[in-house]
């Protein structure tokens, strides 16, 4: 089979021919049909992601496909089942072996491309805003990097939860994508974020996927008792938070990493995905996939992420 594989620590990812793996106890083998790309895939290639697997490994964190074999001890899943898997790795390949507990059956009305683009982006935003930040109807949510894979889902879910959503992104096309996802107010990344947000009444919850100066400006635009979620650091700078400033407005900075819940509270992820799939089937969620590329163009997909030329998700069709 073909796989987008890293052979050694610090090595370059490239398409490689590997043996098709066999499922072991508690696992299923999936004939992969689609894999969503994530900014974390770029970090894994550099070895700077907090959950970078030990080499050798195959990139690709979220997949959708058809089970073609099951290992001993697996119940409730069978060959022929359409599934989505938050795999963490191994998705950019023609086949993958994954823990059965991570496989979620797909409804007939969900495409493989949407399922592959759905889990991390929507799961991250829903759990961050609902489970962690406790976003309430009528509050104001600020989303930075609002046209990215997770940013658009935060806009969409924030609106579904009854918030007023302020979206920040760079350029007219990306701001239009945020508007289409439900944003009430749009701020270009070239504008003074703090001034614009304060003019709109301030932020009660901040969902920041950019970091650096953007986080600092959002921090200064918070209302008393606001909650801040540092979701990602696309600018490359991890912000340092002045703890004394938290006291002045009684602010809360909330750590959140969805992959961690798979290890110590997986039922929270399952409950979130159940809610999200229900919203999808009801037509309340509209996954935004800006590019669908074949496996032999995976490098092109990575470049789209690296250069921030995508809106929503980039999906590799396999």
Domain ranges within the chain, ordered by starting residue: 2-119+262-317, 134-253
SS3 239: coil
Scored b (16 or more CB within 10 A) or e, 98-113 reads bbbbbbbebeeebbbb
Could you tell me whether strands 27-36 and 313-317 are parallel, antiparallel, or unpaired per DSSP bridges?
Answer: antiparallel
- Is domain 134-253 classified as CATH 3.40.50.720? yes
Contact 6, 45 (CB under 8 A): yes
For residue 24, the model assigns a pLDDT of 97
* 182-214 confidence digits (pLDDT tens): 999 999 999 999 999 999 999 999 999 999 999
For residue 308, the model assigns a pLDDT of 83
Quickly list H helices, 47-171: 112-126, 149-160
Please check the confidence at residue 51 and state whether its pLDDT lies above 90.
no
Of residues 120 and 81, which shows the higher confidence score? 81
Distance from chain centroid for Cα 219: 22
Lowest mean pLDDT among 66-80, 151-165, 182-196, 304-318: 304-318
For the chain, give the mean pLDDT.
Answer: 93
Please check the confidence at residue 148 and state whether its pLDDT lies above 90.
no
Radius of gyration of the chain (CA): 19
Q: Which candidate, 27, 84, 77, 82, places its Cα nearest to that of 61?
A: 84
What is the number of helices (H) and of strands (E) in the chain? 10, 16
Predicted model pTM? 0.83
Q: What is the CATH number of domain 2-119+262-317?
A: 3.90.180.10
- Stretch 89-101: mean pLDDT: 96
Q: Which candidate, 253, 242, 176, 249, places its Cα nearest to that of 208?
A: 253
For residue 268, the model assigns a pLDDT of 85
């Amino acid at each position: 089979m073909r796989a987008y594989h890293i052979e050694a620590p610090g090595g370059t990812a490239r398409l490689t021919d590997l043996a098709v793996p066999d499922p072991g106890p508690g696992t299923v083998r999936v004939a992969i049909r689609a894999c969503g790309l994530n900014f974390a895939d770029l970090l894994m290639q550099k070895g700077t992601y907090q959950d970078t697997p030990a080499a050798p490994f195959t990139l690709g964190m979220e997949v959708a496909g058809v089970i073609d074999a099951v290992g001993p001890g697996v119940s409730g899943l069978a060959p022929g089942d359409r599934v989505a898997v938050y795999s963490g790795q191994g998705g950019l390949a023609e086949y993958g072996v994954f823990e059965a507990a991570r496989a979620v059956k797909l409804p007939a009305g969900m495409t493989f491309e949407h399922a592959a683009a759905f889990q991390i982006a929507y799961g991250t935003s829903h759990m961050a805003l609902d489970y962690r930040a406790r976003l309430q109807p009528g509050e104001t949510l600020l989303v930075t990097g609002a046209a990215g894979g997770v940013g658009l889902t935060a806009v969409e879910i924030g609106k579904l939860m009854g918030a007023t959503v302020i979206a920040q992104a760079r350029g007219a096309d990306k701001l239009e994508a945020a508007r289409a996802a439900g944003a009430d107010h749009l701020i270009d990344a070239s504008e003074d974020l703090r001034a614009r947000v304060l003019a709109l009444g301030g932020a009660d919850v901040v969902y920041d996927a950019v970091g650096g100066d953007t986080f600092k400006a959002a921090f200064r635009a918070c209302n008393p008792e606001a909650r801040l979620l540092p979701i990602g650091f696309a600018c490359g700078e991890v912000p340092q938070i002045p703890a004394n400033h938290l006291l002045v407005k009684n602010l809360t900075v909330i750590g959140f990493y969805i992959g961690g819940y798979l290890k110590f509270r997986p039922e929270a992820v399952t409950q979130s995905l159940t809610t999200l799939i229900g919203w999808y089937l009801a037509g309340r969620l509209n996954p935004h996939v800006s590019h669908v590329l074949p496996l032999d163009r995976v490098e092109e997909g990575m470049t789209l992420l690296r250069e921030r030329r995508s809106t929503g998700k980039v999906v590799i069709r396999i």
